[in-house]
């Protein structure tokens, strides 16, 4: 066999060596992380906030978790690094993360999603998982509703008798 040909054994050995370079221990989990659950916020009249979002990520490894949100129809989502608040990391049920969206004025529609990112975290190219799965294309949404006092100030008081 000349140098331009390779045997199947050498290809398998190369693949094994590449895997071991990412996963040096025998029981290493190479599966991508998954998002098991995320807080789905409802419409609210709370303009003060913050609006807490929790998520559970399974198989997190050395990746990072971000809450990404935007106000109304702005193009850019604002990334917020989520903090791990899981006190029992050996529970096997995934790791719990928390972040918050700051308060917003009445009438604001807030869109948000969760992104699990690889080490580079560079834009959507580094995204390993999202919730909802479509991420920015179909995020969760909620609206800050006007309060009765705000309606009264505008002359729109509602008689609730």
Q: What are the tens digits of pLDDT across the range 86-138?
A: 765 555 578 999 999 999 999 999 999 999 997 655 555 577 899 999 999 99
Name the class of domain 31-153: mainly beta
Stretch 2-23: mean pLDDT, rounded? 43
Instruction: Report CA-CA distances (Å) from 132 to 34, 48, 73, 89, 117.
Output: 11, 26, 18, 24, 15
pLDDT tens column, 48-93: 999 999 999 998 777 899 999 999 989 999 999 999 997 655 555 7
End-to-end CA distance of the chain: 92
Sequence-separated (6 or more) residues with CB below 8 Å from residue 125: none
Q: Do 56 and 96 contact (CB within 8 A), yes or no?
A: yes
In the chain, where are the structural domains located?
31-153
Name the pTM for this structure.
0.71
Q: Which of 36, 53, 39 is nearest to 91 (CA)?
A: 36
Taking the CA atoms of the chain, what radius of gyration do you get in angstroms?
23
């Amino acid at each position: 066999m000349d140098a331009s040909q390779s045997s199947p054994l050498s290809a398998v050995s190369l693949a094994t060596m590449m895997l071991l370079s990412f996963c040096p221990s025998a029981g290493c989990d190479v599966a991508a992380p998954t998002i098991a659950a995320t807080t789905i916020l409802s419409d609210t009249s709370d303009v003060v906030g913050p609006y807490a979002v929790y998520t559970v990520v399974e198989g997190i490894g050395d990746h990072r978790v971000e809450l990404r949100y935007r106000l109304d129809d702005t193009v850019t989502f604002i990334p917020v690094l989520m903090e791990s608040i899981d006190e029992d990391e050996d529970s096997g049920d995934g790791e719990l993360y928390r972040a918050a969206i700051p308060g917003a004025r009445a009438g604001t529609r807030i869109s948000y999603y969760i992104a699990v990112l690889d080490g580079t975290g560079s834009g959507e190219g580094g995204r390993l998982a999202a919730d909802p799965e479509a991420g920015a294309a179909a995020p969760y949404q909620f609206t800050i509703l006007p309060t009765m006092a705000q309606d009264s100030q505008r002359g729109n008081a509602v008689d609730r008798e």
